[in-house]
Amino acid sequence: MADVIYVSYDGMTDPLGRSQVLPYLTGLSALGHRIRLISLEKPGLPIVDGTTVRKICDHAGIDWHPLSYRSRPPIVSAMLNVAALRRETLRLHRERRADFTHCRSDLAGMAGLELKRRCGVPLLYDMRAFWPDERAEGAAWDQSKALYRALFRYFKARQRELITEADHIVMLADEGRKALLEIGPTPTAPVTVIPCCADFDHFTLATDDIRLGRRGELGLAENVRLLVHLGSIGCNVLLEEMLDFLAAYRDRHPSAEMLFVTPEGTAAISAKATEHGLGKAVHVRSASREDVPQWLAAADLGLFFVRPVFSKKAASPTKLGEMLAVGLPVVTNSGIGDVAAIVHELGAGVVVPSFDAAAYRDAIEQLSRMRIESLQLREEARRWFDVRSGVAKYDGIYRKMTAGAVRE
C-alpha cells in the first residue's frame, strides 16, 4: 500500500474540501493507503467545521496537517502559501519517506514538483483545470494589464513543467485530455480521467417529508415548480443568463421560482434578480454540506450555465454529480468538459446550444416531453459519478505508482 503526502491548496473546512477531497481520501485510507494530508485553511471559519474535519480524519486514519491560508497582500500571498506547502511537504517527507505526493491543482503541484526535484519523490499531478487560462478568461487576471499578463505567462510555464515532469496526471474531463494533447506540451506520463464525483450515501433521493419541509421554509406550495442552482457564483458562472432562463420558464409556468444554494454572494444574486424583475421569485440560501441534499430535494429541476471558454473544456462541475445523485434532471449548456455528452447519454435533461430566448424556449419544450424517473436517473448516473468509482480509479493509480510502474 502507498504512503502518500496529499497536498491541497483548498481547505478541508471549505465546501470543496469536504465534497471533493475527504470522501476520496477516506475511501483510499480504508483500502490501506497511509495518507498525510496538507491543506490551507481559511481563517474565520466556524470552529465546529475544523472539529468536524478533525473527527473525520481521525476516524479514517488520515494524518491531517492544516496550515493557515493567506489572502493578503494579493499575489504575494499566493506565493507565501505555496512556500508554506513546500516547507510542510519537505518536513513530512524527511520525517517519514513518502512513496509519492498527490497534489491537487497547480499551486499544490508546485510544492510536489520541488520535492520531486530535490528528493526524487514521484508526483501525481491532479490537474483539475487549465487554471491560468481560467483566471484570465474569467477576468481575474485582466490581460490588458502588464502585471496580469506576466502572472499568466509565469503560471502557464509552471503548468507546462508539471505536465512534462509529473509521473501520472489526473484530469476531470476527456474533452480536457483531448485539448491538452492538441495544444501541448504532450505528457509522457499516463493521463487518467476522473470526473468530480458525489457521495451517493450523502446525496440520496428525497423523502416526501424532507421535500415538503424545505419547500415549506420557502413558502412554496407543492404544485409550484422550483429550479435550483448549487454552488458559488464565480467569474465564469452566468448568473444573468440563468435568470433569463427562469423568466422564459415562467412564461410557460408562471408560478415557477428559483433557489440559489451558495456559500457566498447572496446580496449580488438578490440584486440581479430584482434587476430582472424576479426578486420575488428568487430565493437564496447558505447551507452546510449536511443541508445541501435537503435543499436539492425541494427542487424539480437543476440549472447551471457556465461560460463556455477554453479553460472549461477541462471542467467537471461538482454540482452535476450531486444533482443527478438525488435524481434531479438538469438544464445546462454545451462547452463544459464532458457535461453535454453525459447529459445526452443519460437522458438527464437538456443542453442549450446558445444563450437566447429561442434556445430557452426549445429547451423548455423538450423538458415538457421528457419523462425522467428519479431512481432510474440516480442509478444510471452512478457509473459516472459515484465516489466509489473515483476511489477505485485512484486506488489503481496509487498501486501502480507504489509498484514503480508509473510510466507506460
Percent of the chain at pLDDT above 70? 98
Q: What per-residue confidence (pLDDT) applies to 408?
A: 37
In CATH terms, are 3-197+387-403 and 208-385 the same topology?
yes
DSSP code at position 101: E
Task: Report residue 363 CA to chain centroid gap.
Answer: 25
Look up residue 22 and give its three cell numbers: 475527504
Q: Which CATH code is given to the segment(s) 3-197+387-403?
A: 3.40.50.2000
State the Cα–Cα distance between residues 281 and 250, nearest whole angstrom: 10
Q: Please choose, from the candidates 312, 138, 320, the residue with its C-alpha nearest in 3D space to the C-alpha of residue 229.
A: 320
Crossing angle between the packed helical segments 266-275 and 239-252, to the nearest 10 degrees: 50
Q: Which CATH architecture has domain 208-385?
A: 3-Layer(aba) Sandwich (3.40)
Q: pLDDT grade, residue 292 (50/70/90)?
A: very high
Q: pLDDT grade, residue 173 (50/70/90)?
A: very high
Mean pLDDT for the stretch of residues 49-71: 94
Q: What per-residue confidence (pLDDT) applies to 129?
A: 86
Strand 301-303 relative to strand 282-285, pairing? unpaired
Q: What is the SS3 string spanning 18-50?
A: HHHCHHHHHHHHHCCCEEEEEEEECCCCCHHHH
Q: What per-residue confidence (pLDDT) applies to 246?
A: 98
The CA-based dihedral angle spanning residues 285, 287, 290, 294, taken in that order and rounded to the nearest 10 degrees: 10
Q: What's the pTM value of the predicted model, to 2 decimals?
A: 0.92
Mean pLDDT for the stretch of residues 11-19: 90
Mean pLDDT for the stretch of residues 47-74: 91
Q: Please choose, from the candidates 239, 228, 200, 224, the residue with its C-alpha nearest in 3D space to the C-alpha of residue 331.
A: 228
Is the separation of the CB atoms in 1 and 94 below 8 Å?
no
Q: What per-residue confidence (pLDDT) applies to 60?
A: 97
Q: pLDDT grade, residue 400 (50/70/90)?
A: very high
Mean pLDDT for the stretch of residues 84-109: 97
The residues that bridge with 38 in the sheet, in sequence order, are 7, 65
Domain residue spans of the chain: 3-197+387-403, 208-385
Mean pLDDT for the stretch of residues 76-103: 97
For residue 176, pLDDT beyond 70: yes
Q: What per-residue confidence (pLDDT) applies to 27?
A: 97
| Amino acid at the residue 203 | F
Q: What per-residue confidence (pLDDT) applies to 46?
A: 62
The CA-based dihedral angle spanning residues 378, 379, 382, 387, taken in that order and rounded to the nearest 10 degrees: 70
